Structure 1
Amino acid sequence: MELLSEYGLFLAKIATVVIAIAVIAVLIVNLTQRKRQRGELRITRLSEQYTDMKEEMSVALLDAHEQKLWHKAQKKKHKLEAKAAKQKAKQEHRPEVPKPRVYVLDFKGSMDAHEVSSLREEVTAVLAVARAEDQVVLRLESPGGVVHGYGLASSQLQRLRDKQIPLTVAVDKVAASGGYMMACVADKIVAAPFSIIGSIGVVAQIPNFNRFLKNKDIDVELHTAGQYKRTLTLLGENTEEGRQKFREDLNDTHQLFKGFVKEMRPSLDIDQVATGEHWYGTQALDKGLVDQVGTSDDLLLSLMEGRELVGVRYMRRKKLMDRFTNSAAESADRLLLRWLQRGQKPLL
C-alpha cells in the first residue's frame, strides 16, 4: 500500500509539471501570435483550376495508348515553354498587359454578420489593384440578421460601386432581408431558379418572464436615464407605451430599408415588394428583384472568355488559446449575450 501511495504521488507530481509546462507553452505561443498578422489573404487562380479540370477530364476519356501519347506531347510542350520563357526573360521587353480580371469573393452571412470583417479586407485588397476593365463577382448566401451588421456589409460593397468597379452578385441559395440589402447594391443580380430572394421587412421578438418572476415573489429593478432607453425588457414589466415606441422604431428601420433598396434599384415597385414576403428566383425576376436567372457556376464560366478569374479570400487566424481551451463557459456567455441583444435590436 505504501508503494502504491508513493507511486500515485509521483504520478500526480509528473502530471502537475506537464500541465504547468503546457500552459506556459500555450501562453508564450499566444503572446507571440498577438504580434503577428491576424489573418492572411489567399489568392486562387480560378481560371487555371478550371483549365486543369477540363484538361483532366479530356485526358481521362482517352484510351491508354492515347493518354501515353498525350503525356509525352505535354512534356515536350512544357520544355519548349520553359525555354521560351527563359529566353524572353533575358531580353529587354515591355511587360505584357494582363487580361481583364474578375475578382471572385464569397460571403456566407450569419445572424450577426461577423463575416463582414473579412469582406472589408477583401474589398480593400481588390480596390488596391483593380483597373477600369476589371469587375467583381460576389457569391452571396445569407438569410439576413442584425441591421448594423448587414448595413456595414452593404457599405463595403458600396465602396466598389463608388469606384466604378462593376459588381455582380450571384445567389445560389438565399439572399433574403439583410442578404438582399447587400445584393441590391450590385449592378447586376443573378439568382438560381429556386433561390430565395426578397423578404424586405424587419422583425424583432423578445420573451418576457415578468409574470413568472412575480409568481415566485422575485422583484426585478430596471433603472434608466432617458425615457426610451429601454422600451421592452426581458425580465421587467413592459408597458403599452414601450410597445408602441418599439413598433415605431421597427417601422422607421423598415422605411430606411425600403429607401435604400429603392435608391439602389430605382425601377422597383418598392411598395409591392417590401411586404416582408420572399420569392423564388424565377418569381423574383418577374418582380424586378433580380436581373437574370442562373447559377454562379454558369456565370463564372461565361466570364472566362478573354478574362482571368481570381478568387480572393481573407482568412482570419484563431488564437491558439481559443482553440486549445475551447471554453464552454465563454461560448455560453456569448450565446446569452447575443440572445439578449437580439431582443433589443431589430433584424433584417
Structure 2
Amino acid sequence: MPFWLDIAAFVIKALVIVAAIGGLAILVARLARSGDGDKDREIRIKSINDRYDDMRDALNAGLLEKKERKALIKARKKEAKARRGQPVGKRIFVLTFKGDLRATAVKNLGREIDAVLTVARPQADEVVVRIDSGGGTVTGYGLAAAEILRLRERRIKVTSSVDQVAASGGYMMACAADRIVAAPFAVVGSIGVVASVPNLHKLLKKNEIEYEDITAGEFKRTVSVLGEITPAGRDHFQGKLEAIHAAFKAHVAERRPNLDIARVANGDYWLARDALALGLVDEIVAGDELLFRVRDSARLYEVKWEARKTPLQQLLGGLGVAARRAADFAYGRAAGLA
C-alpha cells in the first residue's frame, strides 16, 4: 500500500506543477498580448531559396554516401562564395493574404507592402501575393485592392496566386495585380454584391411589440432588422447595391480590359480551369509550383508582418516545453510502475 501511495503522491505533485505552470503561462501570455499594436509587431523575412536548399540537403544526407556528401557540401560552399561576388539578380517577395469577412488581414498586408516598397527595384523585382478569400465587406477588400495597386503604381510587377478561392472581394484583390495564376480547382469570380438582412418586424407585430427608428434624414435607415422595410426603403437599398456592383465591375474591367464584363460580372463563379477561357485568370499553376519554377533564376523571400517574440514570450515557450516534459515524465513513471 505505501508503494502505491508514493506513486499516487508523485503523480499528483507532477500534475499540480504542470497545472501551475500552465496557469501562469496563460496569465502572462494575456498580459503580453495587451501591448500597443504596431510596437509589438515586426517585419520578418525568410529566404525561400534557403528552405529549398535545406530540404535538398536533408534528403541528400540520407541518400548519398559519406564521400559523395562531402563532395557535395564542398561544391555548395564554392557556389555560395561565387554568388556573393555577383550582382543581385531578380528578387521575388512573397506575401500571404488569408481573408475573412472583414478583411482583417489588410493591415498586415499594408505593412508588408510598406516594407517591400522600401527596397524593391522598379521593373526589376516582383511581388507574389498568395490570396485565399471568399470575400467580405466592400470597404475591407476595396482597401486590400488599393494596397496592391500601390505596388503597380511604382512599377513593381505583381502576380496574384490563388490555390483555393479568390471570389467576390478576393477576386477584387486578385485583379489588382498584373496577372492572376490559379490552381486548376481553385474557385474564382463571384463579381457581385449581396446583403442579407433578417427582419423580425412581423414577429414583433404579431406579439404586439412596437419598435421605432427615430432618424433625421429620409434615408438614414432604410433597412433594419426590427423595423418595417418599406418599398421606398427597399428600392433605395437596392440602388446602393447596384452602385457598388457598378464600381466593382468598373474596377475589374479597368484591370482586365479583355474580359467580357457583361458575361462574367453576374455574380457567378468558376473553377480556374474554366475561368481561364473566360479571361478571369492568366495561367493554371499552383502557388508552390509557381515559386519552385523560378528558384534557380531569382531570390525568393517570404515577407510577414507578425507579432514580435519578446523575451517574456520566449520564456513562456520554454515553460510550455518544460510543462509537457514534466507531464510526459509523470505519465511514463506511473505507467512503468503500474
TM-score (norm 1): 0.75
Quote the RMSD (CA, aligned, Å). 2.9
Tell me what 1:273 maps to. 264
Counterpart residue type for residue 100 of structure 1: K
Is the aligned partner of 1:161 residue 2:152? yes
Of residues 210-219 and 163-172 in structure 1, the stretch that sits farther from structure 2 once superposed is: 210-219
Q: Which residue of the other structure, out of 224, 228, 245, is the alignment partner of 1:233? A: 224
Counterpart residue type for residue 135 of structure 1: E
In the TM superposition, what is the alpha-carbon distance from 1:81 to its structure 2 partner?
A: 8.9
In the TM superposition, what are the counterparts of 1:1-348 in structure 2 within 5 Å? 33-34=35-36, 37-62=39-64, 66=65, 68-73=66-71, 96-132=86-122, 133-316=124-307
In the TM superposition, what is the alpha-carbon distance from 1:96 to its structure 2 partner?
A: 4.8
- Deviations 1:33-76 (CA, angstroms, capped at 9, x unpaired): 339713111111001101221232233333xxx1x224444666
In the TM superposition, what is the alpha-carbon distance from 1:100 to its structure 2 partner?
A: 1.6
Of residues 196-205 and 296-305 in structure 1, the stretch that sits farther from structure 2 once superposed is: 296-305
Query: Where does the alignment leave 5 or more consecutive residues of structure 1 unmatched?
Result: 1-17, 86-93, 321-348
Q: 8 Å contact 2:191–2:249 — kept in the other structure?
A: yes
CA–CA distance in structure 1, aligned partners of residues 96 and 125 of structure 2: 17
Q: 8 Å contact 1:40–1:315 — kept in the other structure?
A: yes
Distance 1:193-1:215 versus aligned 2 partners, 3 A rule: same
In the TM superposition, what is the alpha-carbon distance from 1:304 to its structure 2 partner?
A: 1.8
What SS is found at the alignment partner of 1:107? strand
What SS is found at the alignment partner of 2:215? coil
Identity percentage of aligned residues: 45
Q: 8 Å contact 2:162–2:182 — kept in the other structure?
A: yes
What SS is found at the alignment partner of 2:243? helix
Counterpart residue type for residue 268 of structure 1: L
CA–CA distance in structure 2, aligned partners of residues 303 and 212 of structure 1: 61
Of residues 210-219 and 271-280 in structure 1, the stretch that sits farther from structure 2 once superposed is: 210-219
Query: Where does the alignment leave 5 or more consecutive residues of structure 2 unmatched?
Result: 1-19, 313-338
Q: 8 Å contact 2:60–2:69 — kept in the other structure?
A: no
CA–CA distance in structure 1, aligned partners of residues 226 and 302 of structure 2: 48
CA–CA distance in structure 2, aligned partners of residues 196 and 36 of structure 1: 34
Aligned length: 285
TM-score (norm 2): 0.77
What SS is found at the alignment partner of 2:191? coil
What SS is found at the alignment partner of 1:225? coil
What SS is found at the alignment partner of 1:139? strand
Tell me what 1:340 maps to. none
Q: 8 Å contact 1:167–1:188 — kept in the other structure?
A: yes
In the TM superposition, what is the alpha-carbon distance from 1:177 to its structure 2 partner?
A: 0.6
Counterpart residue type for residue 104 of structure 1: V
- Deviations 1:291-334 (CA, angstroms, capped at 9, x unpaired): 0011011111122232100000111469x9xxxxxxxxxxxxxx
Distance 1:258-1:31 versus aligned 2 partners, 3 A rule: closer
CA–CA distance in structure 2, aligned partners of residues 51 and 201 of structure 1: 44
Distance 1:197-1:27 versus aligned 2 partners, 3 A rule: closer
Q: 8 Å contact 1:190–1:292 — kept in the other structure?
A: yes
Tell me what 1:10 maps to. none
Q: 8 Å contact 1:173–1:194 — kept in the other structure?
A: yes
